[in-house]
Amino acid sequence: MSEYVLGLWGLAILLILLLVRIPVAFAMFVVGYFGIAALNGFNAANSTLASEAFTLASSPELVVIPLFILMGNIASASGMSRRLYDAAYAIIGRVQGGLASATVIGCGGFAALSGSSVASALTMGKVALAEMERFNYNTRLSTGVVAAGGTLGILIPPSTGFVIYAILTEQSIGRLFLAGILPGLLLLTLFIVTISIICWIRPEYGPKGPKTSWRQKGEAFLGAGPILLVILLTIGGIYGGVFSPVEAAAVGAGFVILLGFISGNLSLRRLLSATRDSIVTTATVMLILIAAHVINPFLALSHIPQFIGGVISDSGLSTYMILVLILAIYLVLGCFLEGFAMMVLSLPIFFPIILQLGIDPIWFGVLVVLTLEMGLISPPVGINVFIVKMVAPKVPLGQIFLGVIPFWIAMLVTLVILLIFPEIALVLPNTMIN
C-alpha cells in the first residue's frame, strides 16, 4: 500500500471516529500513532508519542492558556461578567432590542477575559436569557443572540483559537491577539446592526426595556470598571510592549483574583471551583495539541499535504480564488467537525500553501478563526447552539438554529469585508511596539 493511500485511509478513519463522537484528541492519537507505525514502524511511533508530548508540554508560551482561562473563570465566579452586562443594559436597554444588544456587548466584554466561546455563551446565557424572557423577547431572537454572541470568545483576544493557531503555525501569539481586536469589534457592531434590523422589521421581537436615569447609568458603568480595567491592562499592555502575552495573562489573572477578594465577591470556595474548571479545560486543550503533534508527522510522512498543495497550486486559480476556496472548505467542514479539530487537521495541509502564495499568515489566522466561529453556530454540530439549548431547555433546537441565521449572515459579511480590506486585521499588529 502506497504512502498516499495510507494517508487517505488515515484521514477517512479519523473522520469516521469523529462522526461517531470519539473525543477529538483520542481519535487523533489513534490515527497518528498507528499511521506512523504503519509507515515507519512502532519504534518511530513510540518515539514520536514520547518526544512530542514532552516538547509541547514543556513549552513556556503555552502557560498563556491556563492563565487566561483562569482569568475568565474567576471573572465569572466573582460576578464581573454580570456587572458588565448590567452596565450595557443600563446604557442601551431602553432602545428597541436594547436588551439583546446589551447581551452582545456583554459577550464581547466577557470574551476579552475568557477567550472561550463556550464559556461566553454559557455565562451570558445564564445572565441574559432570563432577563429577555422577563421582558417578553422572542425566544428565537434571545437564544440566537446568546449563541452568536458567545462566538466572540474565540475572536476577541485573548483567544484560545489564536493560541492554538500560533502553536501549530509558529506565529506570534501577541500579533494574533492584536489582529483579532478590530475584526472582533467589527463583528460585534454588525451583530448590533443585525438586532436593530430584526427589531425594526418585527418590533415585537425586542420590546424596549425600562428607562434608567443618568445616575443609574453612571453607577452601572462604575460597577463594570474593574473588568474594563483588566481588559485595558492586559490587551493594552501587549500592544504597548509592556507585557508579553504570557506576562499579560499572569498579570490579568492575578489582578482579577485580587479585585475579587477586595470586593468580597470571590470566596475561597469559588476560587477553588474556578481553578478546578480551569484545570479541566486546560487539560482538554493540551491533550488536543499533543495529539495534533502526533498526527502531523503521520500526515507529513504520507505526503498528503504536499499532494493536496500541488493540486491546488497547479489548478491555475488566482491567489484570492485559492484563499476563497480554502475558506469555503473551512465553512463546510465547520458544519461537521469541532473547531479545534478542524484547525488541527487542516492547517498542516493548507498553511504551506498559504506561505507559498505569499499570504500574510496573521491575516489568514484571523480568517480561519472567524470561519471557526461560524462553525460554532452551523448545523448539525453547532456547539454554541447546544450550549444555549442546555441553558434554555424549553426552547426547541430548531428555533435556536433559526435564530442564529441572521447572525451567521453577519459573520459572512465580516469575512467578506476582511477579505477585501485585510488592513483591518493587520493595522494593530503592524504598529505593535516590540
Q: Confidence class of residue 72 from pLDDT cuts 50, 70 and 90?
A: confident
Q: Confidence class of residue 70 from pLDDT cuts 50, 70 and 90?
A: confident
Residue 135: helix, strand or coil by DSSP?
Answer: coil
- Predicted pLDDT of residue 362: 95
| Rounded Cα–Cα distance for residues 330 and 350 (Å) | 10
- Predicted pLDDT of residue 237: 82
Q: Confidence class of residue 1 from pLDDT cuts 50, 70 and 90?
A: low
Please spell the DSSP secondary structure of 145-192, one letter per residue: HHHHHHGGGGTSSS-HHHHHHHHHHT--HHHHHHHTHHHHHHHHHHHH
| Rounded Cα–Cα distance for residues 188 and 79 (Å) | 22
Average pLDDT, the chain: 83
Average pLDDT over residues 222-234: 80
| Rounded Cα–Cα distance for residues 431 and 434 (Å) | 9
- Predicted pLDDT of residue 281: 77
Q: Residue 434 above 60 pLDDT? A: no
- Predicted pLDDT of residue 423: 94
Helix spans in 170-318 (H)? 173-179, 181-201, 214-223, 225-239, 245-263, 268-302, 304-313
Q: Residue 172 above 90 pLDDT? A: no
Q: Where are the domains of the chain?
A: 61-286+304-430
Q: Confidence class of residue 17 from pLDDT cuts 50, 70 and 90?
A: confident
Amino acid at 320: Y
| Rounded Cα–Cα distance for residues 395 and 130 (Å) | 13
pLDDT tens-place string over residues 245-264:
788 888 888 888 888 888 88
- Predicted pLDDT of residue 420: 94
pLDDT tens-place string over residues 316-337:
778 888 899 889 888 887 776 6
Q: Confidence class of residue 136 from pLDDT cuts 50, 70 and 90?
A: confident
- Predicted pLDDT of residue 295: 79
Cis peptide before 406 (omega within 30 of 0): no
Percent above pLDDT 70 for the chain: 96
pLDDT tens-place string over residues 387-398:
888 888 888 888
Average pLDDT over residues 165-184: 89
Percent above pLDDT 90 for the chain: 17
Q: Residue 165's closest CA among 371, 391, 394?
A: 371
| Rounded Cα–Cα distance for residues 166 and 364 (Å) | 11
Could you report how far apart the first and last alpha carbons of the chain are, in Å? 50
- Predicted pLDDT of residue 381: 67
Average pLDDT over residues 402-430: 94
Helical (H) or strand (E) element with 326: helix 319-333
- Predicted pLDDT of residue 417: 96
Of these ranges, 183-187, 223-227, 278-282, 298-302, the one predicted with the greatest mean pLDDT is: 183-187
- Predicted pLDDT of residue 422: 95
| Cβ within 8 Å of residue 313, ≥6 positions away | 322, 353, 356
Looking at residue 336, the DSSP 8-state letter turns out to be T
- Predicted pLDDT of residue 115: 67
Q: Confidence class of residue 365 from pLDDT cuts 50, 70 and 90?
A: very high
Average pLDDT over residues 102-111: 82
Q: 432's torsion region: left (phi>0), alpha (psi -120 to 50) or beta?
A: beta
Average pLDDT over residues 182-200: 93
| Rounded Cα–Cα distance for residues 188 and 104 (Å) | 7
Name which of 138-142, 233-237, 273-277 the model is least confident about.
Answer: 233-237
Angle between helices 214-223 and 80-92 (to 10 degrees): 150
Distance set, CA 378 to CA 48, 58, 187, 309, 331 (Å): 35, 35, 17, 27, 9
Please spell the DSSP secondary structure of 66-103, one letter per residue: HHHHHHHHHHHHTTHHHHHHHHHHHHHTTSTTHHHHHH
Q: Residue 207 above 70 pLDDT? A: yes
- Predicted pLDDT of residue 44: 86
| Cβ within 8 Å of residue 2, ≥6 positions away | none
Q: Residue 75's closest CA among 267, 264, 260, 282?
A: 260
Q: Residue 100 above 80 pLDDT? A: yes
Q: Residue 357 above 70 pLDDT? A: yes
